[in-house]
């Protein structure tokens, strides 16, 4: 499939971004190019598009937090486009802000993108490696009359910026000569001035209806140690200045970002045009395209709020399975394929909308249904004693590993006189339509025998200690007599003697409100108090050998994963990923 073949876009459904790319490729917009213009620093960064016109996208996280579900949308979009069009997608750490960035976040982001199934090849970059370029470009802007050093205070600058309806006022320093500006800027870099004493501003238009074009700041003095460049710099570029340059230096063709950057696009274009005019960048220049961010109900996707949840210990760390972080989702048992399907399903649009959490859960459920081995688990155990089954007898019952995948084989489950069954599968006083165990009723023990309930034994407080029954010896599943007795109920069980007792965490949504914090409430008040419940469950013995991250359907309960952090060899703990059905929509 050639990259210009429009059918190449069909793989993940068409959308407005693919239409733009198709048109650009049809117009052969991306001829091969190399850098020219003024020589850059020795370790200058070069990316060549090669000989074929292909697209280049990038995923540019700031390493100041863990990636969340919103980032997954952006990752799937950017890497997905590169994959479908035979282009490349760069992983670029947008680390121009020295204060909040940490190696821990860099590592976690690398892990998360890999986990989602994407590969950047050799295209891993750090914006901070372009500081020399950004500085050289700023000097050029000064020389060409496109930037000046402003010595107003922050308050003065804010006061003279104007409003949406009123133009801004020119700074008294706006008409400094290029020579004076260059001298001041070099001394800013040399550390001669205190933080905040001066800023470098682009010289555009103080009367522009777009406030972002009213001489935005592009460099500030900030004495802070940077995780990559250490103390080499005491001036740092502003994000809005750095980002277009990063894109251009990496030959990005389509710089895809969320809608809140729409008003920044004129500055993005202005800056790159000036640099191209001066011969510092070659055309064609990258183009910024905005799409609607992911808004998901029942979670918060703001880094600030996620940090608060972690720091105030409302959750157990960044990888808490209830958090909408990718590390959390992974521990929860969500799958990378589920996220990719979700991204394809919701598509990309140009206006904001909300996606219900059940859509994401549905994608996970569908994928887990296809891929998870079936196992038996009793989550709320009560003992079932088969009074007519010999004390020392044991036998094996057979169950398929997956009902739709006969190739995945079958497994043996031990059967004995005493079993664990779910407490709710027995009642003394059955309501109408209850077909499970009650005195006098017969049910099938799934993959085993038909049993007839004879009653129960209670303690002094009236709690049921054990349920009693007799079994019908000729009714074992898979034998000729299996269907000789018709029953309406079918319950699951594990042999008490053979069961593996494990810690199982029943996770539910972290927030009980659809839009946490809406209407001026504190979002913390919307936390769901029942989002985590830890139980001691009785599991079929095969589950003892589960390896971390192995996922299962616990029949009748939902999808579970062997926890990748707390499991020990031969002693896995399990987390619930999703229930079998969408219990939230039913409740509403
Ligand atoms: P910050 O407020 O700190 O900038 P951020 O969520 O934008 O937070 P970045 O690290 O800048 O974090 O994000 C990296 C990329 O992920 C950006 O290109 C951003 O547009 C994209 N992104 C972030 N949140 C979402 C979201 N909810 N939906 C889609 N894309 C998102
Ligand atoms: Mg951002």
Any idea what the CATH number is for the domain that residue 151 is in? 3.90.800.10
Structural contact between residues 241 and 271, judged by C-beta atoms closer than 8 angstroms: yes
- Is a pLDDT exceeding 70 seen at residue 33? no
Q: Is any atom of ligand 1 closer than 6 Å to the C-beta of 338?
A: no
Q: Is any atom of ligand 1 closer than 6 Å to the C-beta of 73?
A: yes
- Is a pLDDT exceeding 60 seen at residue 588? no
CA 45 to centroid of ligand 1, rounded, Å: 25
Whether residues 161 and 86 fall in one domain: no
Structural contact between residues 199 and 220, judged by C-beta atoms closer than 8 angstroms: yes
Structural contact between residues 579 and 565, judged by C-beta atoms closer than 8 angstroms: no
pLDDT band at residue 283 using 50, 70 and 90 as cut-offs: confident
pLDDT band at residue 583 using 50, 70 and 90 as cut-offs: confident
Q: Is any atom of ligand 1 closer than 6 Å to the C-beta of 257?
A: yes
CA 213 to centroid of ligand 1, rounded, Å: 23
Angle among Cα 155, 98, 160 to the nearest 5 degrees reads: 15
Rounded (10°) angle between helices 336-346 and 357-371: 130
pLDDT band at residue 37 using 50, 70 and 90 as cut-offs: very low
Structural contact between residues 490 and 409, judged by C-beta atoms closer than 8 angstroms: no
What token pair was written down for 200?
């470098």
* Spatial CA neighbour of 173 closest among 162, 165, 187, 185: 185
CA 534 to centroid of ligand 2, rounded, Å: 36
Q: Is any atom of ligand 1 closer than 6 Å to the C-beta of 362?
A: no
Q: Is any atom of ligand 1 closer than 6 Å to the C-beta of 305?
A: no
Backbone φ and ψ of 504, nearest 5°: -125, 130
| Residue percentage of the chain with pLDDT more than 70 | 93
pLDDT of residue 343: 97
In the residue annotation, 555 being an active-site residue is answered as no
Ligand nearest the Cα atom of residue 106: 1
Whether residues 103 and 165 fall in one domain: no
254-258 and 287-291: which strand pairing? parallel
Within 8 A by CB and 6+ apart from 174, the residues are 148, 150, 203, 206, 215
CA 190 to centroid of ligand 1, rounded, Å: 33
Within 8 A by CB and 6+ apart from 373, the residues are 401, 402, 408, 550, 551, 552, 553
pLDDT of residue 306: 96
The DSSP code sequence of 104-124 is: HHHHHHHHHHHHTT---TT-E
What token pair was written down for 364?
């996970």
Whether residues 32 and 117 fall in one domain: yes
pLDDT tens digits, 360-374: 999 999 999 999 999
Whether residues 440 and 490 fall in one domain: yes
- Residues in a beta bridge with 254: 287
Q: Is residue 93 part of a domain?
A: yes
Ligand nearest the Cα atom of residue 326: 1
Angle among Cα 542, 418, 486 to the nearest 5 degrees reads: 90
- Residues in a beta bridge with 236: 220
pLDDT band at residue 52 using 50, 70 and 90 as cut-offs: low
pLDDT of residue 12: 54
Task: Identify the CATH number of the domain in which residue 425 sits.
Answer: 2.40.240.10
- Helix or strand holding residue 20 (H, E): helix 16-26
What token pair was written down for 128?
């901070």
* Spatial CA neighbour of 221 closest among 201, 247, 194, 245: 194
pLDDT of residue 38: 40
Q: Is residue 391 part of a domain?
A: yes
In the residue annotation, 62 being an active-site residue is answered as yes
Catalytically annotated residue among 33, 100, 174, 293: 293
Helix (H, G, I), strand (E, B) or coil at 475: helix
What token pair was written down for 5?
């073949």
Q: Quick count: other Cβ atoms within 10 Å of Cβ 130?
A: 25
Q: Which atom of ligand 1 is nearest to the CA of 68?
A: 24
Q: Is any atom of ligand 1 closer than 6 Å to the C-beta of 221?
A: no
Name the residue at shortest CA distance from atom 25 of ligand 1. Answer: 70
Which range is least confidently modeled, 2-6, 8-12, 550-554? 2-6
User: How many domains are there within the chain?
Assistant: 4
Residue 146 to residue 144: CA distance in whole angstroms: 6
pLDDT of residue 585: 64
Catalytically annotated residue among 54, 62, 143, 418: 62
Whether residues 415 and 432 fall in one domain: yes
CA 106 to centroid of ligand 1, rounded, Å: 15
- Helix or strand holding residue 367 (H, E): helix 357-371
pLDDT of residue 481: 86
pLDDT of residue 406: 96
Within 8 A by CB and 6+ apart from 530, the residues are 508
pLDDT of residue 13: 66
Print burial letters for 505-519: b (CB count within 10 Å at least 16), e (below 16): bbbbbbbebebbbee
| Distance (Å) of CA 101 to CA 133, 300, 571 | 21, 21, 37
Mean pLDDT calculated for residue range 18-37: 76
* Spatial CA neighbour of 539 closest among 490, 496, 588: 496
Name the residue at shortest CA distance from atom 1 of ligand 1. Answer: 303
Q: Is any atom of ligand 1 closer than 6 Å to the C-beta of 303?
A: yes
Mean pLDDT calculated for residue range 296-304: 95
Residue 322 to residue 299: CA distance in whole angstroms: 9
| Distance (Å) of CA 282 to CA 48, 239, 279, 437, 512 | 12, 22, 7, 77, 52
Tell me the residue range of the domain where 394 lies: 377-498
Angle among Cα 168, 170, 176 to the nearest 5 degrees reads: 155
Whether residues 252 and 118 fall in one domain: yes
Q: Is any atom of ligand 1 closer than 6 Å to the C-beta of 443?
A: no
- Is a pLDDT exceeding 70 seen at residue 199? yes
DSSP 518: G
- Is a pLDDT exceeding 80 seen at residue 10? no
- Helix or strand holding residue 572 (H, E): none
pLDDT of residue 53: 57
Residue 191 to residue 194: CA distance in whole angstroms: 8
Mean pLDDT calculated for residue range 477-498: 94
Mean pLDDT calculated for residue range 342-365: 95
Q: Is residue 1 part of a domain?
A: no
Rg for the chain, CA atoms, rounded = 31
- Is a pLDDT exceeding 70 seen at residue 522? yes
Whether residues 127 and 140 fall in one domain: no
CA 71 to centroid of ligand 1, rounded, Å: 6
Pocket test for ligand 1, best of 15, 17, 59, 62 (most atoms within 8 A of CB): 62
Q: Is residue 532 part of a domain?
A: yes
Look-up of token digits 């006022």: 169
Q: What is the end-to-end Cα distance of the chain in Å, rounded?
A: 47
Whether residues 359 and 472 fall in one domain: no
Greater confidence, 367 or 585?
Answer: 367
Name the residue at shortest CA distance from atom 13 of ligand 1. Answer: 61
Residue 379 to residue 376: CA distance in whole angstroms: 10
Whether residues 39 and 95 fall in one domain: yes
Q: Domain end: 236, 254, 277, which one?
A: 236
Q: Which atom of ligand 1 is nearest to the CA of 295?
A: 27
Within 8 A by CB and 6+ apart from 139, the residues are 182, 185
What is the Cα 201 distance to its own chain's centre? 36
- Is a pLDDT exceeding 50 seen at residue 586? no
Q: Is any atom of ligand 1 closer than 6 Å to the C-beta of 340?
A: no
Name the residue at shortest CA distance from atom 3 of ligand 1. Answer: 303
- The residue count for the chain: 588
Whether residues 515 and 569 fall in one domain: yes
Q: Is residue 298 part of a domain?
A: no
pLDDT of residue 28: 84
Name the residue at shortest CA distance from atom 2 of ligand 1. Answer: 303
CA 61 to centroid of ligand 1, rounded, Å: 7
In the residue annotation, 293 being an active-site residue is answered as yes
CA 62 to centroid of ligand 2, rounded, Å: 7
Q: Is residue 296 part of a domain?
A: no
pLDDT tens digits, 222-232: 999 998 899 99
- Residues in a beta bridge with 463: none
Within 8 A by CB and 6+ apart from 112, the residues are 66, 67, 71, 326, 327
Q: Is any atom of ligand 1 closer than 6 Å to the C-beta of 61?
A: yes
Q: Is residue 165 part of a domain?
A: yes
Q: From its phi and psi, is residue 564 left (phi > 0), alpha (psi between -120 and 50) or beta? A: alpha
Q: Domain end: 457, 483, 498, which one?
A: 498
What token pair was written down for 215?
């001489």
Burial class of residue 465 in the structure, from the number of CB atoms within 10 Å of its CB (0-12 exposed, 13-18 middle, 19+ buried): exposed
Whether residues 387 and 365 fall in one domain: no
Q: Quick count: other Cβ atoms within 10 Å of Cβ 302?
A: 13
Greater confidence, 2 or 200?
Answer: 200
Whether residues 257 and 219 fall in one domain: no
pLDDT band at residue 282 using 50, 70 and 90 as cut-offs: confident
Structural contact between residues 56 and 82, judged by C-beta atoms closer than 8 angstroms: yes
Catalytically annotated residue among 203, 303, 505, 532: 303
Q: Is residue 297 part of a domain?
A: no
Residue 199 to residue 240: CA distance in whole angstroms: 14
CA 142 to centroid of ligand 2, rounded, Å: 28
Q: Domain end: 473, 498, 523, which one?
A: 498
Structural contact between residues 147 and 202, judged by C-beta atoms closer than 8 angstroms: yes
Mean pLDDT calculated for residue range 403-409: 96
Q: Is any atom of ligand 1 closer than 6 Å to the C-beta of 258?
A: yes
- Is a pLDDT exceeding 50 seen at residue 9? no
Ligand nearest the Cα atom of residue 108: 1
pLDDT band at residue 452 using 50, 70 and 90 as cut-offs: very high
pLDDT band at residue 31 using 50, 70 and 90 as cut-offs: low
């Amino acid at each position: 499939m050639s990259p210009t073949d429009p059918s190449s876009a069909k793989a993940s459904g068409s959308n407005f971004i693919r239409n733009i790319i198709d048109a650009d490729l049809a117009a052969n917009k991306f001829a091969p190019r190399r850098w020219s213009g003024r020589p850059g620093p020795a370790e200058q960064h070069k990316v060549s598009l090669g000989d074929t016109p292909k697209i280049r996208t990038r995923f540019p996280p700031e390493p100041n937090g863990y990636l969340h579900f919103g980032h997954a949308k952006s990752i799937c979009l950017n890497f997905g486009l590169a994959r479908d069009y035979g282009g490349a997608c760069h992983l670029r750490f947008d680390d121009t802000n020295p204060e909040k960035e940490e190696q821990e976040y860099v590592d976690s982001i690398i892990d998360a993108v890999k986990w989602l199934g994407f590969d950047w090849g050799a295209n891993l970059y750090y914006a901070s490696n372009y500081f020399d370029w950004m500085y050289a470009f700023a000097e050029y802007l000064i020389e060409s009359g496109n930037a000046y050093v402003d010595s107003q205070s922050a308050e003065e600058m804010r006061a003279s910026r104007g409003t949406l309806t009123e133009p801004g006022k020119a700074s008294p320093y706006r008409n400094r000569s290029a020579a004076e500006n260059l001298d001041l800027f070099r001394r800013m870099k040399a550390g001669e001035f205190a933080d905040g004493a001066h800023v470098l501003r682009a010289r555009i238009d103080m009367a522009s209806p777009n406030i972002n074009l009213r001489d935005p700041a592009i460099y500030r003095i900030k004495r802070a140690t940077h995780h990559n460049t250490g103390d080499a710099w005491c001036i740092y570029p502003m994000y809005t200045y750095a980002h277009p340059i990063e894109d251009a230096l990496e030959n990005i063709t389509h710089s895809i970002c969320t809608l809140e950057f729409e008003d920044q696009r004129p500055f993005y274009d202005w800056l790159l045009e000036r640099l191209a005019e001066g011969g510092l960048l070659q055309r064609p220049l990258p183009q910024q395209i905005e799409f609607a961010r992911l808004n998901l109900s029942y979670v918060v996707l703001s880094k600030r709020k996620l940090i608060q949840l972690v720091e105030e210990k409302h959750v157990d760390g960044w990888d808490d399975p209830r958090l909408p972080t990718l590390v959390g989702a992974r521990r929860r048992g969500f799958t990378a394929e589920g996220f990719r399907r979700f991204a394809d399903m919701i598509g990309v649009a140009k206006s904001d909308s909300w996606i219900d959490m059940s859509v994401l859960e549905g994608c996970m459920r569908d994928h887990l249904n296809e891929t998870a081995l079936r196992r038996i688990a009793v989550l709320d155990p009560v003992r079932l004693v088969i009074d007519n089954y010999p004390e020392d007898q044991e036998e094996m019952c057979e169950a398929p590993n997956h009902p739709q995948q006969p190739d995945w084989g079958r497994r043996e489950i031990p059967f004995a006189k005493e079993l664990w069954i779910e407490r709710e599968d027995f009642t003394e006083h059955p309501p109408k339509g209850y077909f499970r165990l009650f005195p006098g009723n017969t049910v099938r023990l799934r993959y085993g025998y038909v049993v007839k309930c004879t009653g129960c034994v209670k303690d002094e407080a009236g709690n049921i200690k054990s349920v009693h029954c007799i079994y019908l010896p000729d009714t074992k599943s898979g034998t000729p007599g299996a269907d000789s007795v018709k029953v309406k109920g079918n319950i699951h069980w594990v042999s008490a003697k053979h069961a593996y007792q494990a810690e199982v965490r029943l996770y539910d949504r972290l927030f009980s409100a659809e839009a946490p914090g809406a209407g001026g409430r504190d979002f913390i008040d919307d936390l769901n108090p029942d989002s985590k419940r830890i139980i001691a469950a009785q599991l079929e013995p095969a589950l003892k050998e589960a390896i971390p991250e192995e996922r299962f359907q616990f029949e009748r309960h939902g999808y579970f994963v062997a926890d990748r952090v707390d499991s020990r060899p031969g002693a896995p703990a399990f987390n619930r990923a999703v229930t079998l059905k969408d219990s939230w929509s039913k409740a509403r």
